[in-house]
A = this chain, B = another copy of it.
């Protein structure tokens, strides 16, 4: 691989001039410029990012660490993020913490070592697992989940509103015995959606039965077994709010396996987008996140921080969920419950 010195020698100029031509950082006479350009072309010279970055202490890399790559929700984020990162002139380094705080810790250290200019993180740990200065020295935007007491920029949805919207919808259909299946309570997403659900019921003077409020891992299998358990008992709920799309799939499978029908026997409403949105039957009634918008916004904030090296105040952007009515809910009938 040719280096800048080879180019300089071949063009009969100094390396400084070559650099100036490459970066348009100083005026170079047309004649010299032409010689340099020719030399670059003939030698097939490509500047070494390693050297350039060492010098500039930038890497042109943006890291994205998501919580679970097997979840289509995050796959969607990855898709949007790749496009946004490329559009801003960076490249995307992808990590999957797989919902494991230990893995996340390793990833954060790796991101530092790589010298990424910034990172978008979907944190997987409880707030107290992070040092106060955990993200110091590297531009950071938390996406989807926030960490209480942390000073990084965040882009999230209004989880409380999502839970409230979905459960209000079920209540409007006449359901009273409503269950919920959410993720780990130490995550801001689970907590918010759960609270929204509770508050929606409380607003009508209701409260879910103790056994009807469950939480578990944000995974299909976890949701499946919780749902089987909850729906197996005779006083099962007539409607369920499921906090996440992948879990909703597990719940629907559990219901089918129990010989129940959705929505005839049990209504299901969930939050967040769903795998195979086009093909799932019945289509889920759900509150959707504007994933692409959120991701784009996160990267806009991040690039802003990176390039301004800014001491701007912390920004917390909250997106509102939108209720999308599918076919997975129906009004409560007398013969059910």
Contact check: which of B54, B61, B279 meets A51 at CB < 8 Å? B54
How far, in angstroms, from A252 to B249 measured CA to CA in the complex? 19
Which of chain B's residues have a CB closer than 8 A to the CB of A241?
A: none
Partner of A91, one of B47, B110, B276, B277: B110
Tell which of A72, A83, A114 has the most Cβ of chain B within 10 Å: A114
A78 close to B72 (CB less than 8 A): no
Which B residues are in CB contact (< 8 Å) with A61? Answer: 93
Instruction: Check B276–A46 contact: CB distance below 8 A.
Output: no
A50 at interface, CB cutoff 8 A: yes
A253: interface (CB < 8 Å): yes
The residue in chain B whose Cβ has the minimal distance to the Cβ of A70 is B79
Instruction: For A252, give its contact among B94, B115, B275, B279 (CB under 8 Å).
Output: B279
Q: How many copies does the complex hold?
A: 2
Bound form: Cα–Cα A48–B92 in Å: 18
> How far does the Cβ of A329 sit from chain B's closest Cβ, in whole Å?
16
Of residues 47 through 78 on chain A, the ones whose CB sits less than 8 Å from some CB of chain B are: 47-51, 53-54, 57, 59-61, 69-70, 72, 75, 78
Q: Is the CB of B48 within 8 A of A54?
A: yes
**Is A281 in contact with chain B by the CB < 8 A criterion?**
yes
Count residues on chain A whose CB falls below 8 Å from chain B CBs. Answer: 48
| A138 → chain B closest CB, angstroms | 9
Instruction: Annotate A93-107 by CB proximity to B: 1 below 8 A, 0 otherwise.
Output: 111100000000000
Tell me the complex Cα distance, A287–B48, Å: 43
Q: Does A280 contact B (CB under 8 A)?
A: yes
Minimum CB distance partner of A98 in chain B: B83
A274: chain B residues at CB < 8 Å are: 276, 279
Q: 0/1 per residue, A192-218, Cβ < 8 Å to B? A: 000000000000000000000000000
Contact B78 A69 (CB under 8 A): yes
C-alpha spacing A78/B53, complex, angstroms: 27
Residue A335 interfacial (CB < 8 Å) = no
Contacts of A53 in B (CB 8 A): 50
In the complex, how many angstroms separate the beta carbon of A25 from the nearest chain B beta carbon?
A: 17
From B79, B92, B220, A278 is in contact (CB under 8 Å) with: B220
CA distance A275 to B274 in the complex (A): 10
Q: Which residues of B contact A46 (CB under 8 A)?
A: 109, 112-113
Q: How far is the CB of A98 from chain B (nearest CB, A)?
A: 8
Residues on B with beta carbons closer than 8 Å to the beta carbon of A336: none
Q: What is the chain B residue whose CB lies nearest that of A92?
A: B94
A1 CB within 8 Å of chain B: yes
Q: Does residue A234 face the partner (Cβ distance < 8 Å to B)? A: no
Given contacts A46-B112, A78-B69, A114-B91, contact A279 B278 (CB under 8 A): no
**Does A69 contact B79, Cβ atoms closer than 8 Å?**
yes
Q: Which residue of B lies closest to A85 (CB)?
A: B94
Answer yes or no: A250 CB below 8 A from chain B CBs.
Answer: yes
Given A93-B93, A93-B94, 14 other A-B residues pairs in contact with their CB atoms under 8 A: A1-B137, A48-B54, A48-B115, A51-B54, A60-B114, A69-B82, A72-B75, A75-B78, A78-B94, A92-B93, A92-B95, A250-B278, A275-B277, A280-B281
A–B pairs, 13, beta carbons within 8 Å: A47-B113, A49-B114, A61-B93, A70-B79, A72-B75, A72-B276, A83-B96, A86-B95, A91-B110, A91-B114, A93-B93, A252-B279, A274-B279
